[in-house]
Chain A
């Protein structure tokens, strides 16, 4: 099974500043954002997960352009620019490139 490792596990950020979350996979997920199924999800307190980014860098409908994804191979990054209070929550990377799928451990974004 592919292991997904996120860093950091906790990220205190000042409002208006940027935050970056890293996700590393134990084997390559691919190099093309046309067919590499690496996604990022946000989970606000008390809510189900919400898709932010899919295929490494594609923003899902309605997601603010403050959220961006990048990476290839085994290293991927979610960047949140101009952090707002509503961004507080836990962020997960997830791969769906082969069975079984797996999630990262989650990164808790907090306002400093």
Chain B
């Protein structure tokens, strides 16, 4: 069974802090990695994609990928209350299937 594991949280951080969200996956042939943000009652919104080892930065978001450790993370700098949401880690092996983790709930305290 191919799996994507996330800590369900909630992860609580104060406003302005760095939020660190982690994800591990079981299938070594996974090629593509995504982070989606989902507000309560809304649909998932793609915020980051990463395909090769290392860091990828986009504004306040940094995705980190370590294929040897089968680990992908998302850092949110200068966290804002508007970042409070569930963050879904998603992994694809290159076919049409994307496996989603159960999500980590993030709460940013003002």
A and B form one complex: no
B residues apposed to A, CB below 8 Å: none
A residues apposed to B, CB below 8 Å: none
